[in-house]
Structure 1
Amino acid sequence: MSENKQPAIILVRPQLGENIGKAARAMLNFGLTDMRLVAPRDGWPNPAAGPAAADADIVLERARVFGTVEDAVADLAHVYASTVRDRDMPKPVATPREAAKQMHTAFGEGRTAGILFGPERSGLTNDDVVLADTILTVPVNPKFASLNLAQAVVLVAYEFYHLADGTPAYQPSHPEGVASKEELIGLMEHLETELDKRGFFRSEDRRAPMRRTLRNLIQNASFSKQEVYTLRGVVKSLARPPKEDR
């Protein structure tokens, strides 16, 4: 994913190298590589970031350091500020899902965007947020709304990646196709015939409901063609007399 088609992930005054590494790992999980660090507390590079990144080295190697938030967002057309706090400033609010839609539209029109994430302990200040166009708020339990830095990054990165992902929301359990009704009915009738021979349907008044139960079991199983073929072979094998009786 080219960097002009993805949001910049801007970590403002991050405190621990481990958290920067974990954020880098979360970014690369979903194809993001534009990390920007604003005044990291322990400087940069930070030896603690590498192990925590779990091989997301490309993100750390490309990370750019800025002295101020103003410098970090200077080339961006739209900035989101990730925060759960109420602010005394009128700004639109978006969830990560809505922000992802907006960013994909922006990138399609040749515009740029980035997301601010605050320090682990205190979050973004009002002076940070005032530079943003939109407040980005993750819907979480209002009684426990605390997310760590990597969690916040992974939620936003996932929603952005999800919109461009070609994996279908629903994938059938049998990509080769489920059995046809004709094949299922053939299995049902085969099973019923053999069970009838062995007196399974002992009560005539129970025959119909028991038959429906068996057919429903087969129908609801969503068997593939191969599975129906295998089961018919099983029924056929069980219907033969034992070898010692032949």
Structure 2
Amino acid sequence: MLKNISVVLFGTKYPENVGSTARAMRNMDCSDLILVNPPLWNMERAMPLATAKGHEIVEKARICPDLETALADHSKIYGTTARTGGWRKGVLTPAEAAPLIVQQLKDGEKIALVFGPEDRGLTNDETKLCSRLINIPTSEESSSLNLSQAVLIILYECFKEALETPFTPAGPPEERITTFQEQEILAANLQETLLAIDFLKEENSDYWMLPVKRFMSRINIKRNEFNLLMGICRQIKWIAEKSSPKK
């Protein structure tokens, strides 16, 4: 049911938390686990917390050196955050995110749910890689959740939504949504183009690109549209370079 969702654990410190997460994933019919640069990975310590049904998830977990590699073939990235405000805008609750995620799965997209290290969560730079952010509301007196609890809450909302609106993932290859890697390439080219025509200034250009990237993540750019936009960027940069004064 949630086959096209990957749970991405970034910098998870304790193997036991990986095991508990695998158990939660099995409960919610989600099986793709990705570990990004785990500092103390030990499968033997993870297995008891995974229980017998979660062992296969732990055994098949992919280990990646960085977030960009882990997210490369996904089309929508949801990061989790305990903090809001500043750069962390448009934050969703799990209940708000679930209908979006299930509809995207229905459209044939591949989704990544990203969880940061237990002690600090995701940094601003890491959240910049995410299409949207999810925050789990808690009591102000006790806002800390165990990693596997956070995973279970978000997957449960998605599972519940999928039960209410069953679907068969589909989508012809020529109409597939662009992957994270392609979206990053397009965003980088668009940023260069906007700098070339002075729409963006060099100072804080990454910050001012954030609303643009978030807008792009919501419009479901397909591969043929990616090729079109890349061509437009190339032409604009060529014209801007041609018309700029010779140094």
Instruction: Name the TM-score, length of structure 1 as normaliser.
Output: 0.63
Q: Is the contact made by 1:92 and 1:133 (CA closer than 8 Å) also made in structure 2? A: no
How far 1:87 sits from its partner (Å)? 4.7
| 1:39 matched to 2:24 | no
How far 1:90 sits from its partner (Å)? 5.4
Distance 1:57 1:90, change over 3 A: closer
Output one character per residue of 1:123-143: Cα deviation in whole Å (capped at 9) or x when no partner: 111121110011101111123
How far 1:84 sits from its partner (Å)? 1.3
Aligned to 1:54: 51
How far 1:164 sits from its partner (Å)? 2.4
How far 1:71 sits from its partner (Å)? 0.7
Q: Is the contact made by 2:94 and 2:134 (CA closer than 8 Å) also made in structure 1? A: yes
Q: Is the contact made by 1:39 and 1:67 (CA closer than 8 Å) also made in structure 2? A: yes
| 1:134 matched to 2:124 | no
In structure 1, what is the Cα distance between the partners aligned to 2:86 and 2:69? 24
In structure 1, what is the Cα distance between the partners aligned to 2:74 and 2:86? 24
| 1:157 matched to 2:155 | yes
Q: Is the contact made by 2:2 and 2:159 (CA closer than 8 Å) also made in structure 1? A: no
In structure 2, what is the Cα distance between the partners aligned to 1:34 and 1:103? 16
Q: Which runs of 5+ in 1 are unaligned?
A: 167-246
In structure 1, what is the Cα distance between the partners aligned to 2:51 and 2:23? 6
Instruction: Name the TM-score, length of structure 2 as normaliser.
Output: 0.63
Which residue identity lines up with residue 24 of structure 1 in the other structure? A
In structure 2, what is the Cα distance between the partners aligned to 1:65 and 1:47? 16
Which residue identity lines up with residue 155 of structure 1 in the other structure? I
SS in 2 for 1:54: helix
Which residue identity lines up with residue 47 of structure 2 in the other structure? G
Aligned to 2:3: 3
How far 1:115 sits from its partner (Å)? 0.8
Structure 1 segments, 4+ long, off by >4 Å, are: none
Q: Among all aligned residue pairs of Structure 1 and Structure 2, give the percentage whose two residues are the same amino acid.
A: 35
Correspondences of 1:180-195 after superposition (within 5 Å): none
In structure 2, what is the Cα distance between the partners aligned to 1:97 and 1:112? 19
CA RMSD for the aligned pairs? 1.5
How far 1:32 sits from its partner (Å)? 0.7
How far 1:91 sits from its partner (Å)? 3.7
In structure 1, what is the Cα distance between the partners aligned to 2:130 and 2:85? 12
Give the total of aligned pairs.
163
In structure 2, what is the Cα distance between the partners aligned to 1:90 and 1:120? 19
How far 1:53 sits from its partner (Å)? 0.4
1:125 aligned to 123, 126, 144, which one? 123
Correspondences of 1:169-188 after superposition (within 5 Å): none
